[in-house]
Amino acid sequence: MSTSPVTRSHSSPPTDRRRVLLASLVGSALEWYDFYLYGTAAALVFNKIIFPSFDPTAATLASFGTLAVGYFVRPIGGLIFGRLGDLVGRKKVLVITLLVMGASTVAMALVPTYEQAGVLAPILLVVLRAVQGLGAGAEYGGAAILAAEFSEPRRRGLFGAAPSTGVYIGILLASGAFSAVTQLPSEQFLSWGWRIPFAASIIVIGVALFIRLRLAESPAFVEAQKHSREAEVSPVRDVLRSEWKSGLVVIGLQTSQNVVAYINLTFLAAYLTGTLKLPSSVGPVATTVGTAVTIVTLLVFGRLSDRIGRKPVALIGIAFSAAFVYPYFWVVDNVRTPLAITLVVVVSMGVGVGCMFAPQAAYYSELFTARSRFTGLALNREVAGALTGGLTPLIAVALVAAAGDSSWGVALFVIAACAVGALAVGLGPETRGRDLTATTVTELRSSTGTYR
């Protein structure tokens, strides 16, 4: 009797699944601990000590420009490491990306100021940011794929929420670390306090590396390798020729999520301090609380996607984010109290971002065949990141300046991004329950819902 595709794709023992769950969570936590540290430092530190300027807006734009550099190189990392992940294995690539990404973050703690090293300071920062981006280009994608490929089909949305939860645990750690060091006197914070969270990432690197070295290889990858001996395998070619529609779905949903997330995670801190002249601790504290709530809602919405589908959950988040953006900025601009700002950040992140992000590991993995999944997911996700994740703070700062310190332009920007996501997801397929061992597009599509 032949073995069904669903049975083949989920033959891993529970011990392996638990290890993968932990490895996905810790690795994603490190990636976004590193990246969020940089985003917060770009808003609060680098515009003062690395990119000095008599024009605060120009300095902030220059600082956010280096934030964007990391996103511009992420698609290159996604292409390089994604292709390797499809050819030599998920596990090996995730160990490499972990080391590349982590080492560059620790080195940022040692970057001199402009006053100490002149133009060498921003050059070093940009180089380290680029290296960090290369490693991060395949980190979430690999973690998401491992989580999805090891999970039971009926719980793939919930299990796949682990790397998404890891993202927000990393952000929570970074936000909490920065909230703590911003309590220092300003001179000490700008001198050495901001460096502590960067140096501390070495602890997370050690834990993540220990866990990942003990992982088994993905069963879906092992199954795909059997077919690879019978046919030529070219992940990049397959993604560009036969799976490009799936790539557009990833880019569209990722655009919406990136813009909403980075308004909260990166732009808001600069807006509160630079435009509204509020204390520098307000933004990080609001984000810390919002992130803690989102960790819980990600699990809820991941499980919901197992029950009603990936598309409905993502579309709820997109629609909510578009509708909520004007109330969000009205509260930020007019109420201005730390409590009120924290509440709108909690709602925006917990509901809007939570719905868009929670089903992504399962949704994106189910969009691509086993032989090109890592390439398709990592490349298209990071293309969206380069276009929107890195540029969102720059665009938002420029829109505020163009509107005379008003936020209405940023609100329109969010709505436009949500429209892109709604179109892509609305026209895309429902994928719940697909067989992740499928090696052809036809086989993948025909397996939709087969676990039911």
DSSP per residue over 382-432, as a string?
Answer: HHHIIIIITHHHHHHHHHHHHTTS-SHHHHHHHHHHHHHHHHHHHHSPP-T
Of residues 444 and 121, the one with the higher pLDDT is: 444
Task: Give the span between the Cα atoms of 412 and 389, in whole angstroms.
Answer: 17
CA 228 to chain centre: 30
Of 244, 224, 162, whose CA–CA distance to 440 is shortest?
224
Task: Give the span between the Cα atoms of 393 and 414, in whole angstroms.
Answer: 12
Query: What's residue 452's pLDDT?
Result: 47
Query: What's residue 229's pLDDT?
Result: 57
Task: Give the span between the Cα atoms of 394 and 431, in whole angstroms.
Answer: 34
Of residues 58 and 200, the one with the higher pLDDT is: 200
Complete domains list, the chain, with CATH: 7-224+231-446 (1.20.1250.20)
- Contact yes or no for 173/36 (Cβ under 8 A): no
Banded pLDDT at 450 (limits 50, 70, 90): low
Task: Give the span between the Cα atoms of 42 and 101, in whole angstroms.
Answer: 18
What percent helix, strand, coil does the chain show, rounded to 5? 80, 0, 20
Determine the 3-state secondary structure of 18 from DSSP. helix
Q: Pull the structure tokens for residue 153.
A: 């089909």
Least confident of 60-64, 203-207, 250-254, 256-260: 60-64
pLDDT in tens, 83-102: 998 888 888 888 898 888 88
pLDDT in tens, 402-423: 999 999 999 999 999 999 999 9
Q: Pull the structure tokens for residue 287.
A: 């984000």
Percent of the chain exceeding pLDDT 70 equals 91
- Contact yes or no for 101/41 (Cβ under 8 A): no
Task: Give the span between the Cα atoms of 33 and 88, in whole angstroms.
Answer: 27
DSSP label of 3? P
Query: What's residue 61's pLDDT?
Result: 67
- Contact yes or no for 304/313 (Cβ under 8 A): yes
Query: What's residue 120's pLDDT?
Result: 86
CA 120 to chain centre: 29
